[in-house]
Structures are given as C-alpha cells and as structure tokens.
Structure 1
C-alpha cells in the first residue's frame, strides 16, 4: 500500500475500490458501533436507575404524608403520671381485668388474648413464659399502651390507663425488645439518646455501655465510641486502583466508612440506651421482651443480672424463652397458653403443681443438660 501522505484523492478512491482499505474501515466501524452501543446501554441503565430512585423517593414522601392522616385510635387521657395523689416510689402497679385482644386485620379464628386477668404489685419482678404465639408479647404491648384491649380493663396504679396522658406513661416506661432501631449517629449518641438531656455526658454514657454489655466490642473499634454506624456520605473512586500513594486515595481512605455490627452487638447498644434512660429517674416500669435473642447465654445472663441490680423503684416484667436463671428472682411467674393465663405463682409452687410451667421448665433444663454434655 502506498504511503498515505503521497496518495491523492483519486488514488484513495481507487484503493477503496480495490478493497485495500476496506478491512480497516470495517474494523473502525465495528469499534464505533460497539462504543455507541456501550454508551446507549449505559444511558438506558442510568435512566432506569434514576427512575427507580425517583419512584422510591416519591413512595417515601407519600408514606410520610400518609402517616399524618392516620387516626390514632388509642384514647389519650388528661391525668398526669405519676399522680400527685399516689406515690409510685416502689414502681408501677399494673392490672388486667378480663382483657381480650385481637390484632387489627387478624385472620385467625382465635384472639391473641382471651379473658386475661392478672395483677402485678409495685416493684415486683415478673416472668411471663409460654410457647410461641401464647400471647406473652401481646400482654407487654397492652401494658405499655401500644395497643388498647378489644375488651376488658387495664389499670395503672388503681386508675384506668386511658385516664393518663400517654406521653407521661411512655416517659415512665422503658421497653427492651427485638424491635430496635439504630440511628445514623455515633455510638455515643445512639446510647445517649436514652437520656437526651445528658447526650454529651461521656462518663454516664460509658457506664451505660458497660451495663448494657456494649463496652467490649466498642473498645475494639478504631474510633471507639465515636464510631459512626451509617455516615450519610456516598463514596466512590475512579482510576485510583493500585495507587495507594495518590493524594486522592489517601483522602478517600480517611473518609468515614459504614460500620457493620452484628445483631448481638445491636442488642447490646439498645440495652445500653435503656440503662442510660434509667438515669432520668422517671422510669417506673421496665418491659423486657426477648431483647437478647442474638446474645449467647453468658451475655444474656449478665444483661439480666445488671437489669435486676437496678430494679429498685421499678416494676419489671421479663419475657424470654431462656427463663431458668430468672425464676429464683421472680416474685411472680405467669404461664400463658393459647392466649390465656393457665398458671400463676412462684417457681416452687408451679413446679409442685406439675402443670404447663413445669413441663416448659423441664424441657428447657433437659435441653441445657444435653448441650452441656
């Protein structure tokens, strides 16, 4: 082929006719087509992703506005809690009278609670046991006024619970459950939110973390208690692979990263937040509803022991499947089955009765014994 600089236009046309440049033009056309195809694909994917992101954003906004239109069916009262007429220094007195409850939209033929009556004195430590679906957690939701009963009465300190302001009752109640939430803040702030007025009190937060069992894993983090769980910062890099000494690589590495913690560590943080809340002095009722499902037996035992140690001035109710180590502290054990209270009493009296509680306890003890072997 002649040198391209020495070829005239006529010679170009002649070479094309002869087909000498044909393969090169074909290759160039294929490369251009492939590049155009990639660009088109990227553009379509970008539009699709943007549309999906926009759709999610609109749905989020719709849910926010829809929330404001939800009518609260729980009746709020006008009486303050604690009331001036009755002291609650020992804790909150709780009573259910012939309570029946059905969850909204429930398709089951049986109620979650059926004609439940029980009385819990101020300062008592109560353990509620029973099989899954027996109504244990539902009792907690009724007592903490997350729901009102379908029928029957709920009394707090001798007065119908509906007479009290719900905000006052919630300030006087602490709930530890599996339903927990972590905020896009530092670990210190996540714990400190338990007592907002002292969210900057490092010593109080440190003590709460220790009681909640979170200190051990927090100490292993690079930034300790100042670690952010979910920093609101999107990070990406382009053409920095294999360039650790590049200034932008160093800047990228210095940015906050999302910290992934286990379910058990989350539960320890939530427990620490509850211990922080106890510092307010307002908590008179503590409901502990399976908050340690992701903890090992030793961690759960230590958490429950720490809760028992700070029970002064509080009524405590525990709901847990591993209840054997709690029964010796319990003033009252309530055994549930199919939405009804089938037994109430102390560990000794219920074991002597050899009923539902004795069956559950023996199954648990047998399983523990077999595991230990």
Structure 2
C-alpha cells in the first residue's frame, strides 16, 4: 500500500514544477496585460498558492510513506540474509570466497535495493517533469531540444564506463576490508584485549589498520579526481549549450514580441529540461551502478551449499529417524576438507551401541574432531558410509537427526544472553522449563554458581550488554555442557569437554555424566587421558586412521601409541611432583 501511495505521490510531484511554472507565467501575464485590482490580485495569485499547498501536502504524504516503506524493506532484506546464512554448512563458513561475498553483501549490497528504489522513484518524477518541459519547448521550437541533449548523451556514456571501473576497484577490496574488520575486532574485543596489551601489539595492529585505509584513501582519491574531471568537463559544455538555447529564445521572443510571462516560461522550460535530462541520465548511471552490486546480492542468495562432485550428500528430507538411536557405525569412511588434497580420515570403521561410551584419542590433527563433524552432518562430502540404526545418514532428515544429538565443541559458544537461554538453547522448545534447566545445571555442578548470581536463571551473562556478569572459563564450559545435556538426546558428543575444568571439577562432571548417559550413546574426545578412563572403549587415531582400539587396560598392555601418550602425561605429572618435593 505504501509503495502505491509513493508512486502516485512522485507522479504528482513530477507535475508540480511545470504547474508552478505555468502559475507564475499566468501571474506575470495577468499583471502585464490587465489593470491591477483587488479581484485581480486574488485570481492571479490563487493558482500559485494552490500549487504550493498541493506541493506541501504531497511532500508530507511521500515522506511519511517513504520512511515506513524503507524500514520495512531493509528489515526484510536483513532477515533474508540471516536466513540464507543459516542454511550454510561448515564448509561455507570456512571458505574465504564465501566470507568475502558475505561481507560485500553486508557492506555494499544491503542498502542497494533502497537506493535503487529511490533512484527509480526520482527517475519517474524527473521523467514526468522532463516530458512536461519538453512539451513546452516543442510547442515553441522543437529544434531547441536537440541543442540541449547533445552534452548529456556524451556525459552519460563516459560516466557509465567510469561506474564500471569504480565497481571493479571496490570489489577487489573485499579481502582487505575483511582483514581491517578483523583487526578492528581484535582491538575492540575483550577476549583479545589481554594479549594485545601484554604483548604490546596495539601499535602494530593500529599501524596495519591505518595502512589498509591509506590504500583505500589513495584509490578513492584517484577515482574522485577522475570523476570530478569528467563531471566538470561535461557541465561546462552543457552550460555553453544552454547559453546558446537561451540566446536564441530571447532573439525569437524579441522578434515575435512575446509577453514577459511567456519568455519566463520558456527560459524555465529550458532550465528544467536541462536539469531533468541530467537527473535522468545520472539516475540511469546510478541504477547501472547499483545493479552491479545487486548482482552480488542475488549471487549470495543463489549460493549452492552442496559440495560439487559429491555423489552422496546428506539430504534435506528423507526417512524419519526412529524413536531412539540404538547404534552408530562408520563403514570405511574417508574425507578430505575442501581445497585440501590430504585425507583427514582414511578408511575409518567402528561401531557403537546404545549404553556404550566411546573415546577418541590421538595427537593433534589426527582426525578426532573430523569424526564428530561428519557424524553431526557439518560436512557431507565423504566416502564410505555412516549408518544410524543400519540406515545411511544420507537418508535422514537433518532436523530430526539434530534433535537426537547433543553436542559440545572445544570452541563452544559463550552466548551473551541470560543463563536460562545459555542452557535452554540446547532444546529451544523447552526454554521455559525451569526444573529441567536446573537439573541440567546440577549435572555439571554449575547450579551452585547460578544460585549465587543476583538474578539466577534470568541473569545476563557476558560484558556486551548492561548488567552482564562475566564467568570464568571453567564456569562457561560447565554452562556449555549443561546446554548439551538439556537436550533429551540419544547421542551425546563431547569434544574436549573438560579443557577449562580443574581436576576436581572434571572428576565431578564425568561421574555425573556417566550416570546420566548409562542408557544412551556417548562419543567424546579428550587430551586428558585420565578422562578417557571412563569410556567403555577407546579408539586411537593417528594421521586419520584408527591404529588401536580397546579398553584402557588392553591398550596399556599392547604398549602401542596409546601407551606412549598415556605414559607421557603420567610422566609429566610425576616430574612435576618430584620438582615440587625437591623445593
């Protein structure tokens, strides 16, 4: 509705300049040809007053409707971008090209539809005014119009070429712009603040930040200089053509003894024609410019999230999951990350059943976290198969699968929201169930921390918002584990679940956790080998392959890689004790 009102309003607004011109012509002509009287004053001025009043009414209506329409359009576009981003998979977020495209859309394309809308509306209004002023000139002498359009046509072509050059230059900036924003994040974020201060990195990052903007400034200065030179050159030429047209109008008016009001109307028609020819040509150039950026927006919305050349992908819809997940099996699974030739997993096979807990151990980069990413569907292009209840994971509905799995990653998120939300996000549909939230908090021991907070479950966490309280690393990790446990899942996947916990807290959490998952499936990763003692079975990975498997006692007896890694950890503790005793 608002858009229709705006269109009608701008059409009427386009008529106003000509209506104003004709009303002034009428006023001047009336004064020139008739004797001045009280009645004449009212009748001559009335059309001009009416045009002014209509202009005020139309402008107010346009401003009101325009503001509401723009707000609605921007909100809709931002929502669409967020929705599109939510469909990305992990490979998209780890792809620099997708990141660059996302930043270009956020920074250069998000406001382009609004600008295109404004240009189209102004273009429409200018065209109405232009056609009206052209009609006046054609009625007088049609060839005057030809004099006025020579210069704008030449400037239109030149500025259009310049716009394309400017777009290409700005598109190349995306990587540097992303780097500048990252540096800005480092300099203004509390998580990086401590190291930047202690390592005295502020000057270094500030210099890098400034150097990027110096590059942009030089480019912008060159482009601005080139554009102003083009603009001034054609404006000078255009002014000369206007002068020629006005001289010819004055000569003809003198010869034909036209009234002053008519001469005024012709002069204004020339100026309006020139002004609106320039406005229309600039509008077309701007539309072409915006269209280049709009292509980025449409390309972003059309991003194909599926890996190419993948014959087997996790489908968006397929068989529904069973009521419970009874078993999970990896069968000869191999996987390489996008743009990487080396396999992260090589022919990995294992099986776990309900009621079992399985631990993955190995050196850094051995493929442990990759197993979890494949199991949770974050990466899809793998060889072999992953079976859930003897059905390929590729045939499962994604949302149904996610409902059955609770996960905590080693880089867990610290949501700067309330305690309720931080735990309740584990099962968003049960956010208001206080008893379940407290039960999940109790399993990790973080309930004691929450009860000491001023607002308990409603307490704002983090420092980004007013009234927020910052937790310690260990407390945040307990919150994250509670979030995973809040979901009534069949499978729990824990990646380094105790990395921030002290030994006492770790022992408490794992004891509670073992009781909680006694009739579920549990897969976890840990570099603390004291943690994996709780697992029913241990898989040892090395360079993407399973090199050993068994219980803790079985692996110690075999004296393989697990024995070496476990012994290294124990020896480290013993050396620390000896050193402490020696002091």
Taking structure 2 as the reference length, the TM-score comes to 0.45
Aligned twin of 2:517? 311
Aligned twin of 1:71? 304
Aligned twin of 1:137? 369
CA contact (8 A) 1:95 1:155 kept: yes
Do structure 1's residue 347 and structure 2's residue 579 form an aligned pair?
no
**SS of structure 1 residue aligned to 2:342:** coil
Q: In 2, distance between residues paired with 1:201 and 1:355? A: 48
**SS of structure 2 residue aligned to 1:116:** strand
Matches within 5 A, 1:1-373: 58=107, 68-73=301-306, 74-76=313-315, 77-82=317-322, 88=324, 91-106=325-340, 110-229=342-461, 256-278=466-488, 283-327=489-533, 329-373=534-578
CA pair 125-67 structure 1, distance change in 2 beyond 3 A: farther
How far is 1:301 from its partner?
A: 2.0
How far is 1:116 from its partner?
A: 1.3
How far is 1:192 from its partner?
A: 2.0
How far is 1:179 from its partner?
A: 2.8
**SS of structure 2 residue aligned to 1:343:** strand
Shift >4 Å, 4+ stretches: 54-57, 59-68, 230-233
CA contact (8 A) 1:213 1:272 kept: no
Q: In 1, distance between residues paired with 2:328 and 2:505? A: 29
CA pair 268-67 structure 1, distance change in 2 beyond 3 A: farther
How far is 1:94 from its partner?
A: 1.4
**What whole-Å deviation, never above 9, does each CA across 1:153-202 have from its counterpart, x for those lacking one?**
11111111111111111100011112322434311222122233332222
How far is 1:271 from its partner?
A: 1.1
Segments of structure 2 that go 5 or more residues without pairing to the other structure are: 1-102, 112-177, 179-295, 307-312, 579-583
CA contact (8 A) 2:426 2:483 kept: yes
Q: In 2, distance between residues paired with 1:218 and 1:268? A: 11
Q: In 2, distance between residues paired with 1:68 and 1:191? A: 32
CA contact (8 A) 1:324 1:365 kept: no
CA contact (8 A) 2:332 2:347 kept: yes
Q: In 1, distance between residues paired with 2:414 and 2:480? A: 8
CA pair 293-231 structure 1, distance change in 2 beyond 3 A: closer
How far is 1:128 from its partner?
A: 0.7
Q: In 2, distance between residues paired with 1:167 and 1:68? A: 22
**SS of structure 1 residue aligned to 2:539:** strand
Q: In 1, distance between residues paired with 2:528 and 2:372? A: 17
Q: In 2, distance between residues paired with 1:291 and 1:177? A: 7
Segments of structure 1 that go 5 or more residues without pairing to the other structure are: 1-53, 234-255
Q: In 2, distance between residues paired with 1:183 and 1:60? A: 28
Task: Flag the structure with higher helix content.
Answer: 2
CA pair 69-264 structure 1, distance change in 2 beyond 3 A: farther
Q: In 2, distance between residues paired with 1:60 and 1:362? A: 57
Q: In 1, distance between residues paired with 2:473 and 2:481? A: 12
CA-atom RMSD, angstroms? 2.8
**SS of structure 2 residue aligned to 1:153:** strand
**SS of structure 2 residue aligned to 1:306:** helix
**SS of structure 1 residue aligned to 2:532:** coil
CA contact (8 A) 1:100 1:149 kept: no
CA pair 303-104 structure 1, distance change in 2 beyond 3 A: same
How far is 1:57 from its partner?
A: 6.2
Q: Which moved more, 1:213-222 or 1:121-130?
A: 213-222
**SS of structure 2 residue aligned to 1:97:** strand
Taking structure 1 as the reference length, the TM-score comes to 0.69
Q: Which moved more, 1:219-228 or 1:162-171?
A: 219-228
Aligned twin of 2:60? none
